[in-house]
């Protein structure tokens, strides 16, 4: 449907609407990545730090290092290593850049699919085409699985998917035009960039060709044979090259018979149905997306999605058998076979080792979603091929309803995803906190025993662990980089776990970087412009109950909110609290206010009284003994405060209690931490404020 503009020109309303929706979904995922992406090294990042980044730092990288992997069935992904090297050289190993690259790669995928949809058939099915490509954009940019965008390595892995639709298009072009040079070039690029995904893509495409031959029995079999020959020769060249990829640090792979035996055991125990439900249902929605929904209710929704997808897969293959193919249909068949190949790979290599529930990993949603892309391509390709009539009208109507439903479903999915951002940021803070602690005490058994499961270095040999942590600290990389902390200010909270000797130079560098307007700090400036950043040093004090959990400068160590992560409604803290405040030039005193649950301690059989100690820049300035329940105020005049050693305006404040922990009886929260004291506010009072108060 088109409308006439005021100047007589025609306005293509479907195109305008599609572009508007595309802009919304793109900005949504970009903003989510900026706010929720993890810049802290975790899991496989430590492996890359050890075998690849270390060489980049030392300047002895070789071409073969871009293909290093742990075992033969691992992914080489040279493009991701190039991006990682860029993160090292340009951003102090801020791996969040990988996620931004991933967004750019997905944008490339969306534009490629748009080309595939609009490259044939003139203006036929114009509205359906616009709806199809914007629905594909909504699917690929979906926040259906937050881990896809929050963990940069997951986002960057879209780079191995990007060449797949290009390769499929080049195969179809070679079949139609009988030209093979471009096919050879694209196949070589696919084999180089995508590694094992290239093998799955080639196998799926050749299977689609064979399916086409059997279903249509074309007369040009010689053309098909030449296509197969060109593809196989180019892939053989690339696989010979990949056979020389270095294998470093991996455990021996499980033999295939053992994997098949494990899968057979899952069949015997009745878990086989999970092999189908999760890959199909999670392509639509992987988590509860309605507020207040219970697990049982979402399980019903999940089965409903599974039934719908099962029906659509059946419809898909009936269409593939009965309809003449065009480019969108050919690519749809190839992509569906690729998705099946990915699911089979997860089944054999992962589910066999970790159980059927391993399909419920967020990162696999980026593979499941290509089932939906294939279904949409089949629909729009069929609409382009169908003759006008009632059958085409029904096809377009039902496809339009399904596509609009998928697009609208992204609204509650996105709302649910944005709700987890504070949780994610707190989790990243804790990762950074553990890294700081390990850097100071790499062999501390207590720390190693309570490591996050994503810090793989905790299980590594002590020499390697200490070497990598020292490398980061000495080179000021990742969480030890002031530029990284400036780009992600909430990570400053974690530095409260550092020793004073390590924290002071890092905060000095952060302050210097904050005042630096050079191009090197452009990313941090962009991040703050997009809403992540702020004035990271409070002017004179904080009201704990008014602050968002991830805004507290140098996180109140041990504080948490029993009412949820949004605000510290009841900020009960551990026995050691650290924060940074700006110290006004006319400060007349430092005031610390809070309360202590003395009766709770007495009921728990703890000793009484309790003594609080306040330190300013690691110098003890006040103590207070508390013998009963109630609020406390510690008033420290300015003449008792030490002169600033290096920062005239930044002051590190520590409040500690000599009382031991008792179980938290003030909240229904399942938080395992325990109660010490409640801190409400810490602030510098100025002469001006004192004068106003006296009036």
Q: Name the DSSP letter for residue 605.
A: T
- Which parts of 320-402 are beta strand (E)? none
Two structure tokens written together for 639 = 């003449």
**Gap between the Cα atoms of 313 and 210, Å rounded:** 19
Can you read off the two tokens belonging to residue 228? 């197969």
Residues 292, 557: Cα–Cα separation, whole Å: 31
How much is the pLDDT for 265? 85
β-partners of residue 610 are 626
The single residue listed with the structure tokens 């073969």 is 64
Owner of token pair 């992600």: 488
Are 124 and 384 contacting, i.e. CB atoms less than 8 angstroms apart?
yes
Residue 406, CB-side half-sphere exposure with 13 Å CA sphere: 29
Which DSSP symbol is given to 465?
A: H
pTM reported for the whole predicted model: 0.83
Q: CA-to-CA distance for 568 and 679, rounded, in angstroms?
A: 10
The low-confidence residues of the chain, meaning pLDDT below 50, are 519-520, 529, 531, 533, 561-569, 664-673, 691-695
Helix (H) or strand (E) holding 634: strand 630-637
The Cα–Cα gap between 416 and 378 comes to: 30
Cα 267–Cα 272–Cα 277 angle in degrees, nearest 5: 180
Query: Nearest 10 degrees: CA dihedral of 106, 110, 111, 116?
Result: 130
Residue 669 is predicted with a pLDDT of 39
Phi, psi of 18 (to 5 degrees): -60, -45
Please give the DSSP secondary-structure letter assigned to residue 74. S
Helix axes of 274-281 and 295-322: crossing angle, nearest 10 degrees: 80
Q: Point out which residues pair with 678 in neighbouring strands.
A: 572, 595
Asked whether 481 and 473 are in contact (CB, 8 A), the reply is no
Query: Cα(19)–Cα(134) distance, rounded to whole angstroms?
Result: 8
490-522 exposure pattern, b = at least 16 Cβ within 10 A, e = fewer: bbbbbbbbbeeebbbebbebbbebbeeeeeebe
| Three-state DSSP state, 270 | coil
Structure token digits, residue 222: 């010689």
Q: What's the rounded Cα separation, in Å, for the pair 517 and 54? A: 29
Extract the tokens encoding 480.
Answer: 């030890």
Record the tokens describing residue 568, joined without a space. 């510290």
């Amino acid at each position: 449907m088109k409308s006439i503009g005021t100047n007589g020109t025609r306005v293509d309303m479907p195109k305008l609407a599609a572009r508007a929706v595309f802009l919304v979904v793109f900005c949504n995922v970009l903003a989510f990545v900026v706010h929720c992406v993890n810049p802290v090294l975790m899991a496989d990042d430590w492996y890359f730090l050890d075998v690849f980044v270390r060489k980049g730092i030392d300047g002895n990288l070789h071409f073969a290092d871009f293909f290093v992997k742990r075992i033969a069935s691992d992914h080489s992904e040279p493009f991701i290593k190039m991006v990682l090297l860029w993160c090292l050289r340009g951003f102090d190993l801020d791996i969040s850049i990988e996620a931004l690259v991933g967004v750019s790669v997905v944008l490339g995928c969306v534009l490629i699919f748009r080309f595939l949809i609009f490259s044939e058939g003139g203006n036929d099915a114009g509205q359906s085409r616009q709806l199809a490509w914007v629905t594909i954009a909504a699917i690929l940019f979906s926040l259906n699985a937050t881990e896809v965008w929050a963990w940069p390595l997951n986002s960057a892995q879209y780079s191995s998917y990007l060449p797949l639709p290009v390769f499929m298009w080049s195969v179809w072009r070679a079949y139609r035009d009988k030209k093979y040079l471009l096919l050879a070039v694209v196949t070589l690029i696919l084999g180089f960039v995508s590694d094992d995904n290239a093998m799955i893509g080639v196998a799926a495409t050749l299977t689609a060709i064979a399916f086409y031959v059997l279903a249509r029995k074309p007369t040009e079999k010689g053309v098909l044979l030449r296509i197969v020959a060109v593809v196989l020769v180019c892939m053989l060249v690339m696989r010979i090259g990949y056979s020389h990829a270095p294998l470093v640090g991996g455990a021996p792979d499980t033999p295939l018979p053992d994997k098949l035996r494990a899968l057979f055991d899952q069949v015997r125990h009745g878990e086989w149905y999970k092999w189908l439900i999760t890959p199909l249902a999670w392509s639509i929605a992987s988590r509860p997306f309605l507020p207040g929904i219970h697990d049982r209710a979402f399980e019903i929704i999940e089965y409903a999605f599974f039934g719908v997808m099962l029906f659509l897969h059946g419809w898909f293959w009936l269409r593939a058998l009965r309809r003449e193919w065009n480019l969108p249909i050919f690519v749809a068949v190839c992509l569906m076979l690729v998705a099946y190949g990915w699911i089979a790979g997860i089944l054999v290599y992962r589910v066999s080792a970790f159980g059927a529930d391993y399909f419920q990993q967020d990162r696999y949603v980026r593979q499941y979603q290509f089932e939906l892309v294939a279904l949409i391509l089949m629909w729009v390709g069929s609409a382009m091929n169908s003759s006008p009539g009632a059958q085409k009208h029904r096809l377009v109507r039902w496809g339009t309803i399904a596509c609009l439903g998928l697009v609208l479903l992204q609204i509650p999915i996105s709302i649910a995803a944005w709700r987890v951002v504070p949780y994610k940021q707190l989790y990243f803070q804790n990762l950074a906190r553990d890294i700081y602690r390990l850097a100071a005490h790499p062999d501390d058994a207590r720390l190693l025993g309570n490591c996050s499961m994503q810090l793989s270095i905790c299980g590594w040999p002590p020499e390697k662990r200490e070497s990598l942590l020292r490398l980061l600290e000495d080179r000021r990389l990742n969480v030890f980089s002031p530029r990284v902390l400036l780009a992600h200010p909430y990570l400053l909270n974690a530095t409260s776990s550092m020793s004073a000797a390590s924290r002071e130079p890092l905060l000095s560098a952060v302050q210097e970087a904050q005042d630096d307007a050079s191009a090197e700090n452009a990313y941090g400036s962009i991040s703050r412009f997009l809403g992540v950043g702020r004035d990271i040093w409070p002017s004179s004090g904080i009201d704990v109950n008014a602050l968002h959990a991830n805004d507290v400068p140098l996180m109140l160590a041990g504080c948490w909110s029993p009412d949820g992560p949004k605000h510290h409604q009841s900020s009960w803290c551990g026995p050691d609290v650290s924060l940074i405040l700006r110290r006004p030039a006319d400060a007349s005193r430092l005031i610390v206010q809070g309360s202590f649950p003395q009766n709770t301690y007495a009921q728990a059989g703890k000793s009484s009284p309790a003594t609080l100690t306040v330190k300013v820049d690691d110098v003890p300035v006040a103590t207070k003994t508390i013998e009963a329940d109630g609020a406390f105020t510690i008033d420290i005049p300015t003449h008792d405060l030490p002169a600033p050693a290096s920062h005239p305006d930044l002051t590190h404040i520590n409040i500690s209690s000599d009382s031991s922990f008792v179980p938290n009886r003030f909240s229904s929260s399942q938080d395992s931490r325990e109660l010490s004291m409640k801190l409400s506010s810490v602030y510098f009072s100025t002469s001006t404020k004192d004068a106003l108060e006296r009036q």
